[in-house]
Every structure is written in structure tokens, then in C-alpha cells.
Amino acid sequence: MPIILATDLFVYLLVAAGAYFVVKTRGAGQAADVLRELRKRRLTMAALTVLAIYAGVALMDSVRWRDALDSDVAAGNNGRIYSPEALSLLDRALGGLRLAQEKTYSSPLASRLFTKENALLASGEVRREYAPLKYPGIHLLGTDKVGSDVLYMAVKGVRTAIIIGAGATIIIIPFAIFFGVIAGYFGGVIDDVIQYVYTTLASIPGVLLIVAFMLLFGNRGYQGGSVAPDDVVLGVFVPNDRLMWLCLILGITSWTDLCRLIRGETLKLRELEYVQAARALGAGKLRIIYAHVVPNLMHLVVITFVLQFSSLVLAEAVLSYIGIGVGPQTGSWGNMINTARLELSRAPVVWWNLAGAFAGMFFLVLPANVFADAVRDALDPRLRNR
């Protein structure tokens, strides 16, 4: 029985957008030009590959279903009973890691636990020693406090990060472009009102706003872990309030910067001679905006997208750290970092939890930056054919 979380929709949307681009690149047109340009640089292609892997992981982690329990209970119940756990494709693929539960910490690739514990020897004697692991050798990044595999946790963090990054930017970009462009292009009262709104928003400390919203709305719906039967709407759909609201509120607090940039740039573009020429040709306002203004703003959008994306992923970590991020049962790098706080202060330092989260972030944020630079250049005909 399939289960679709509200936030899965973001991932589907992202993957659909990627697929749409790939389809567009077949044939001639701007998309094909852009792709040809991107393929020229090996670094870009490497970044793209890494990003595609991340997207794939996020997608696998967003396709989930509940298994039917074919126990006697079910038969007796005159119907089928489903397990409360809605495992994703990723969970199933990494089943080995997911189920390879140890007792507690073990360092990467260790064969024994990280801490000593009492062991009952055959002689009846009790000794303190490093107990051997149940699944030695498979924990590439060690295990955490409750014995879960750190690599598995880091991989589970991918979906959360991408949802926050993509979800929030999906809100930011249309808002910022829409309001920035109309403020800059139409000016006058419209401009005044929009400027007033975003100045006000920007002057409220973002964190306060986020805390308030999360406390108000963030405690309903799916929180990670098992799916409660009450949460299921329409048979398959599960609202995912906490993560949803986090995206929404992060989006609302961060569209103002881009909006301001876009407004300024539009003010400049509006006066350029090619816009005047288009007006002389009878082009209406809408046409000018979509044909001449927005394409010439894209470089700003692309750069800001990546900077925002990176800072949103980091913001998730910070918010989880102060306890208002995603739910504790949702795998996220923020949660991992949050727990690493105590681990770093232990006598022999437990560093792999932090390292796992860090590696996850690093290999997302760095290629994203590389890729965005390349996209920006590829979008600009002046920089092609260099």
C-alpha cells in the first residue's frame, strides 16, 4: 500500500523538472545549447553526476509503501493489515545497513564496540572489555549512540536536505521574481507597497519568526518514524506538517534578498534601449517582462538559488540544533550535528557522526556551487564558445 508524504511532492517536482530539461535538450533550442555548453567542462559533468546521484537517492527515499502483514491476525480481521512502517525504496535497498543495529558507538570499520562493557565469560567471570560487533566490517562510518549505522543516517539526511533546499527555493524564486519584477518594472505605488512589505519582513529577526511558526504549526502530522493511521488522508496521502512548515517559513524569511536584487536589476533593465525598442515595436508589458527582463535576470536567480540552497541546508542543521528543526525521528544532518555536540566533548572523541553529516553536506553543496556557476555561464550567450 503506497504512502505519499506531502513533502515527497517536492522531490517529485524537482525530478520532473530535471526530466523536463533532459527532454528539452533533445532537439535544437536553448536547452540544447545549454547542455552542449555544460558538457564542455569535465568538472561540470562531475558535479552534475554527483547531483544526479543525490537526486536519485532523494527520489528513492520518497517512494514508499507499507507492507501487508500476512499474519493470522490479518486473516482473522477479514482484510489485510498493513505494517505501520512505510519503508521507502531506499530503506529497502539499504536494508542490510538499516537492520545492522549495534548496541552503541563503534568507530568506522571497527570490529568491536567503542566502549567497554561487562561480558560474562564462560568461566562465569565478569570482565569489562570491548565487545565484538554483531556486524563487524560493514559500518563504513561507524555507528552512533544507539548503534545505528552512520552512513545510513547520512544517506537518509539527503532527502531532508533536498526537500528543505528545493522546497524553500520553490517558494523563494517565484515570489522574489514576481514581486521584484513588478516592483522594479511598474514602480510607483506598487513599488512602494512591495518595498514596504519586504523591508518589514527583513527587519523581523528570522529565527524568531521561525520559532513562532514552528511552535504554532509544526507539531501536527507526520513527524518521522512510523505512519500513524490517523494521519493518512485519502488512503495514501500523509501531511508532513513539520517539514512542510519548515520549508514554507524558511522560504518566507529568505525571499526578500533576492527580491531586492531583482528589483534593482529590473530598474536598470527597464531603461535599457532594447526594452525601449521592444516597446516601440508594440510589445506589451507582459511580453517585455517575460522576453526581455526575466531572461536577463536569470544569472542573479541562479547564483542566489545556490547560495540560498547551501545556506538553507545549513539552516536546517542550526534549527535542529536549537530543537525546532525537523522531528527527531526524521533522518537529517541537522539532527546528526545536534547529537555530535555532546559526542565531541567526550574524552575519546566520537567524530564520525559529525563527519558523516559533514560529508553529506559537502558533497551536495560543493557540486551545487560548481554546477550553478556553469549553468549561469551557459545561459549567457556572451560566455559561450569560449
Partner 1 sequence: MKESQTPVVEVIGLKTYFRSSSGVARAVDGVSFGIRKGSTFALVGESGCGKSVTALSIIGLIDRHSGWIEGGKVRLGNEELTSLDESTMRQVRGMRVSMIFQEPMTSLNPVICVGEQVAEGIRLHQKASKQDARVITVAMLSRVGFDEPERIYRAYPHTLSGGQRQRVMIAMAVACKPELLIADEPTTALDVTIQEGIVRLIKEMQSETSMAVLLITHNMALVYKNADEVGVMYAGKIVEAGSVKTLFSKPLHPYTIKLLRSMPVAGQRTHALDAIRGSVPDAASYPSGCRFSGRCPREMAGCAQKEPELVLRGQEHGHPVACHLYDAPFMASRSARLVASAEGVPAPLDKTHNERPVLLEVRNLKTWYPIRRGLFKRVVGHVKAVDGISLSIRKGMTLALVGESGCGKSTAGKSIIRLITPDAGEVLYMGKDLCAMKEGELRPLRRRMQMIFQDPYSSLDPRRTIMNTVGEGLEILYPEMSRRSRIAKTASVLERVGLGYDALNRYPHEFSGGQRQRIGIARALAVEPEFIVCDEAVSALDVSVQAQILNLLKSIQLDMGIAMLFITHDLGVVEYMADEVAVMYDGKIVEHGNVEEIFARPRHEYTKKLLAAVPRIDSALIESLKLPVVPAAWP
The answer to whether residue 72 forms part of the interface with partner 1 (CB under 8 A) is no
The answer to whether residue 272 forms part of the interface with partner 1 (CB under 8 A) is yes
Fill in the DSSP letter of residue 272.
S
The answer to whether residue 273 forms part of the interface with partner 1 (CB under 8 A) is yes
What is the size of the binding site for partner 1 (CB under 8 A)?
22
The answer to whether residue 274 forms part of the interface with partner 1 (CB under 8 A) is yes
The answer to whether residue 24 forms part of the interface with partner 1 (CB under 8 A) is no
The answer to whether residue 137 forms part of the interface with partner 1 (CB under 8 A) is no
Among 22, 109, 277, 342, binds partner 1 (CB under 8 A): 277
Beta strands 112-120; 237-238: pairing state: unpaired
Q: Which stretch binds partner 1 (CB under 8 A): 107-115, 199-207, 285-293, 321-329?
A: 285-293
Closest separation between CB of residue 179 and partner 1, Å?
20
Task: Report the residue number, 98 or 270, with the smaller CB distance to partner 1.
Answer: 270
| Residue 132 φ/ψ, nearest 5 degrees | -70, 150
Rg (CA), the chain: 25
Task: Report the residue number, 246 or 275, with the smaller CB distance to partner 1.
Answer: 275
| Residue 327 φ/ψ, nearest 5 degrees | -60, 155
The answer to whether residue 200 forms part of the interface with partner 1 (CB under 8 A) is no
The answer to whether residue 193 forms part of the interface with partner 1 (CB under 8 A) is no
Residue with cell 533576492: 258
Q: Which stretch binds partner 1 (CB under 8 A): 132-140, 218-226, 277-285, 334-342?
A: 277-285
Site for partner 1 in 290-319 (CB under 8 A): 291-292, 295-296
Q: What is the DSSP string of 86-112?
A: EEEHHHHHTHHHHH---SS-B-TT-SE
Closest separation between CB of residue 213 and partner 1, Å?
32
| Residue 287 φ/ψ, nearest 5 degrees | -60, -45
The answer to whether residue 282 forms part of the interface with partner 1 (CB under 8 A) is yes
The answer to whether residue 12 forms part of the interface with partner 1 (CB under 8 A) is no
364-to-45, 57, 132, 302, 356 alpha-carbon distances in Å? 14, 12, 34, 16, 13
Beta bridge partners of 68: 82
133-to-69, 179, 212, 351 alpha-carbon distances in Å? 31, 57, 44, 19
The answer to whether residue 382 forms part of the interface with partner 1 (CB under 8 A) is yes
209 burial level (CB within 10 Å; 0-12, 13-18, 19+): middle
What gap in Å lies between CA 244 and CA 206, rounded to an integer?
Answer: 17
The answer to whether residue 287 forms part of the interface with partner 1 (CB under 8 A) is yes
Beta bridge partners of 5: 238
Residue with cell 527597464: 270
Task: Report the residue number, 242 or 292, with the smaller CB distance to partner 1.
Answer: 292
**In 110-173, beta strands by DSSP E:** 112-120, 126-132
Task: Report the residue number, 343 or 380, with the smaller CB distance to partner 1.
Answer: 380
The answer to whether residue 187 forms part of the interface with partner 1 (CB under 8 A) is no
The set of cell numbers assigned to 301 is 536567480
Q: Which stretch binds partner 1 (CB under 8 A): 199-207, 288-296, 304-312, 351-359?
A: 288-296
**H helix count then E strand count, the chain:** 15, 6
Q: Which stretch binds partner 1 (CB under 8 A): 250-258, 280-288, 323-331, 367-375?
A: 280-288
Task: Report the residue number, 235 or 282, with the smaller CB distance to partner 1.
Answer: 282
Residue whose C-alpha is closest to residue 307's, from 173, 183, 188:
173
What gap in Å lies between CA 7 and CA 349, rounded to an integer?
Answer: 35
Beta strands 2-5; 237-238: pairing state: parallel
Among 87, 283, 303, 318, binds partner 1 (CB under 8 A): 283
The answer to whether residue 279 forms part of the interface with partner 1 (CB under 8 A) is yes
Task: Report the residue number, 158 or 288, with the smaller CB distance to partner 1.
Answer: 288
The answer to whether residue 112 forms part of the interface with partner 1 (CB under 8 A) is no
Task: Report the residue number, 120 or 280, with the smaller CB distance to partner 1.
Answer: 280
Residues in contact with partner 1 by the rule CB under 8 A: 272-274, 276-284, 287, 291-292, 295-296, 379-382, 386
